[in-house]
Amino acid sequence: MALALIGIGVLALAAPRPSARQYGIAVDDSRALAFIRAMGVRDLVIGVLLLLLASAGRRELLAWGMVASAAIAVVDFAVVSAAGARTGARVLHAGGAIGLLVAGLAIATLR
């Protein structure tokens, strides 16, 4: 999950227009690309933080970090859904939220 978030963030920084479609955001104004890049930085930082928690062996903190990150994906889902984004963007955000939540809870329950 951490590597996926890092990849999404790097892609948003390197290619914001295609990333906008994945995020479910229509970019008619080139100034809006700054927003896409900011979202990319957000995803990149979350991915790096999760990777650091995983590499530190702090399983409980990693689990809670993933659960907290799922909240971001839920809000992203709500925003793009309210804006009438295409189904693919909604599925991407919902899948991310579910994946983070399930993985976080699975890690939290491992003994």
Separation CA 68–CA 1 (nearest Å) = 13
DSSP string, 19-44: HHHHHT----SGGGHHHHHHHHHHHH
pLDDT band at 23 (very low <50, low <70, confident <90, very high): confident
pLDDT tens per residue across span 45-101: 999 999 999 999 989 999 999 999 999 999 989 988 998 888 888 898 899 999 999
What residue type is assigned to position 55 of the chain? S
Token pair for 78:
């709500």
Query: Taking 80 as the threshold, does the pLDDT of residue 111 lie above it?
Result: no
Q: How far apart are the first and last CA of the chain?
A: 21
pLDDT for res 66:
95
Q: What is the pTM of this model?
A: 0.85
